[in-house]
Amino acid sequence: MSGSSPDTFAAIAGLVKARAGIVLTPDKGYMLDTRLAAILRRGNFASLAALAQALRDPRGEPLVRDVVEALTTNESSFFRDGKPFEHVKRILPALHAARPAGARLRIWSAACSTGQEAYSLALLLADQLPALAGRQVDILGTDLSREVVERAREGVFSQFEVQRGLPVQMLVKHFIQEGGKWRIKPALRAMCRFEERNLLGEHRGLGGFDLIFCRNVLIYFDTPTKAKVLAALAAQLAPDGALYLGGAETVLGLTDRLVPLPGERGVYGPAPALARSA
């Protein structure tokens, strides 16, 4: 049961859709109550309706940002779902062999949340680097939320977080204990860069990537938004690169620029040029 009227729900849901592409259906009305409670308290808003009114104020940009961030989902864990990282291990030697000496391998963790996905890739690469013969690897993590990007940059995780998906041998090898928290070691932190970025925006300035992770994000978007985001990601992907989506996500029916890689689940590659022009 939500404390918001249909008008208030529509106003806030419309804002989140416009800013983040996220579709909040009326059955998610409870999220407004639970996730915006702290903002109501902080801003002394008497109700969600009062907050919705304040969001219409053109000077309310920080408030808009806080509301959108509060209504986005930031679930993350190390080596989430396992299988994509197994594929990365298999594809890295081929990408390394195909690139000229001195060229960097580039990986994008789009919608990186608090950084576990980007750091999982760094951890995996730390074990694989001998096979990559000293090749430099850049990992870029981006997220809409300033708060989670700041946390990702910090590279500090709670005891609970480091136990979700991270083998204990990696924990003791690559993290430093600081009180009850765990900080990723500087060498791995240095492999990753994090920045705020809206997936609905323009990404050409980022350059090309060999691997792109964009998992469990499209599920929150409507069909046109999914198609737009997939086309934008495809434009940044190397011809022999791979795009990783979540288990409940697909490119089928959304874009002809990406095709499933044979025998893989949730892994896509650029469509052959012939297929694109057909």
Partner 1 sequence: MRRSALVVDDSRVVRKAARRMLEGFGFSVREAEDGEQALIACRAEALPNVVLLDWNMPVMDGITFLRAARAEFGADRPPIVLCTTESEFSRIVEALQAGAQEYIMKPFDATILGGKLAQIGLLDAAEVPA
Residues in touch with partner 1 (CB under 8 A) = 75, 77, 81-83, 159-160, 163-165, 167-169, 171-172, 177, 180
- Residue 4 vs 72, nearer CB to partner 1: 72
Residue 171 token pair: 């924990």
Tell me the closest approach of the beta carbon of residue 103 to partner 1, in angstroms: 32
Q: Could you give the CA distance from residue 182 to residue 180 in angstroms, rounded to a whole number?
A: 7
Q: Could you give the CA distance from residue 138 to residue 119 in angstroms, rounded to a whole number?
A: 11
Q: Pairing between strand 175-178 and 156-158?
A: unpaired
- Residue 82 vs 130, nearer CB to partner 1: 82
**Residue 35 is a catalytic residue:** yes
Q: Pairing between strand 237-244 and 267-270?
A: antiparallel
Q: Where do the H-state alpha helices sit in 164-242?
A: 168-174, 186-189, 223-236
Tell me the closest approach of the beta carbon of residue 77 to partner 1, in angstroms: 8
Query: In terms of Cα–Cα distance, which of 37, 51, 120, 57 is closest to 84?
Result: 120
Tell me the closest approach of the beta carbon of residue 165 to partner 1, in angstroms: 5
Tell me the closest approach of the beta carbon of residue 244 to partner 1, in angstroms: 14
Q: Could you give the CA distance from residue 45 to residue 51 in angstroms, rounded to a whole number?
A: 6
In sequence order, the β-bridge partners of residue 137 are 105
Tell me the closest approach of the beta carbon of residue 107 to partner 1, in angstroms: 21
Q: Pairing between strand 267-270 and 258-260?
A: antiparallel
Residue 184 token pair: 């990723």
Tell me the closest approach of the beta carbon of residue 187 to partner 1, in angstroms: 18
- Residue 182 vs 221, nearer CB to partner 1: 182
- 12 — alpha (psi -120 to 50), left (phi > 0) or beta? alpha
Catalytic position from the list 35, 135, 183, 193: 35
**Residue 143 is a catalytic residue:** yes
- Residue 76 vs 255, nearer CB to partner 1: 76
Q: Which amino acid is at 50?
A: A
Q: How many CB atoms sit inside 10 A of residue 41's CB?
A: 9
Catalytic position from the list 19, 80, 143, 151: 143
- Residue 7 vs 86, nearer CB to partner 1: 86
- Residue 68 vs 88, nearer CB to partner 1: 88
- Cβ-contact 112, 142 below 8 angstroms: yes
Query: In terms of Cα–Cα distance, which of 79, 44, 80 is closest to 63?
Result: 44
Q: Which residues are catalytic?
A: 35, 143
